[in-house]
A = this chain, B = another copy of it.
Amino acid sequence: MARSDTRYREAYNQILAYCETLPTAAPIPAETRLAEIAGVSRTVIRRCLARMEELGLISWQGRDKHLLRAPLADDRIAVPDAPADKSDFEQRFLDWVLRFDVPANTPLSVAELSRTFDVAQHDLKEFLAGLSRFGLVSRRPQGGWMLLGFTKDFAIELSDFRSVLEHNAVAQVADAPVDHPVWAALAQLRADHLALKQAIDTDFHEFSKLDERFHRCINSVVKNRFIAEFQKVISLIFHYHYMWDKTEEKHRNAAAIDEHLAIIDALEARDSEAAQAAALRHLRTSKTTLLSSLRHHDLG
């Protein structure tokens, strides 16, 4: 009933690995130095040293520390099982929400989520607290959390917000200097769009990836932490909904390719006005698609 000693165990193995690089009988650096190496506090280092002394790996008396013998594989300490990739948990959670069409206003059980996703309960709570800033979840009066989105209103507001952001991004691209990498990227994207247009009859499902690449490219010009944070959520949501709404997919994607090309044309001509107008047209189409995809899923 306290915190785990994973940090100590990992540090111990790390220090052991460091000692392997030392010649036998070599003096061992100061505790502060070791703490730096392992990225932990001196408290942990002293625990490590104590164990190493106990195992007869080192002599330790005051500031006189010496390696007695080379560490063996057997000297290593066991680290509790896999640290459960916490990094991509966000991705997996949104994936779950969207893929299984978890309806709006579903109560979320932290206990259950914790089991299915193999994430500690308080990490989950932190994550949900973060999402509540995006209005995707909220606390329930009787305790616990609930999934607010994905309603029609949410989709509309998200689309509108996306339009605002991309409108700005397009304007910035048009103003980008000639040597900006975005131009090379756009040239490549144009080629890829044209290629897919040729093969649209068979490869139309490839468009989803291309779409994401295109929008990411446009937005990459904007260096802004707030916008970047939102783009992550936005692109994920749009991306998934495009993938599922199979109605008229081929025709829809063919049209979208032309819309993308129109934006690229205007941008390369440095016609900011035209580019923004083209972007606006495309974003309107996207919004319509997102909303119709919601209708098919019987939400909102």
Contact = CB atoms under 8 A, between A and B. Distances in A.
A86 to B, nearest CB: 11
Interface in A221-267: 223-227, 229-230
A250 B225 CA distance: 33
A70 interface: no
A119 interface: no
A104 interface: no
Contacts of A164: 164-165, 168, 227
Pick from A41, A161, A229 the residue with the most CB of B within 10 Å.
Answer: A161
Given A129-B126, A130-B129, A164-B168, A226 B135 contact: yes
A157 interface: yes
A224 B160 contact: yes
A contact patch SS: helix
A158 interface: yes
Nearest to A223: B157
A40 interface: yes
A141 B39 contact: yes
A161 B227 contact: yes
Nearest to A225: B135
Interface in A148-182: 154, 157-158, 160-161, 164-165, 167-168
A21 B184 CA distance: 76
A134 interface: yes
Nearest to A44: B142
Pick from A40, A132, A167, A225 the residue with the most CB of B within 10 Å.
Answer: A225
Q: Return the 10 tightest CB-CB contacts between A and B, nearest first.
A: A126-B129, A129-B129, A135-B225, A164-B168, A161-B226, A157-B224, A133-B133, A130-B133, A129-B130, A157-B225
Given A126-B129, A226-B230, 15 more contacts: A41-B142, A122-B125, A126-B126, A130-B130, A130-B133, A133-B133, A133-B134, A133-B229, A135-B225, A157-B225, A157-B226, A161-B226, A161-B227, A164-B165, A167-B168
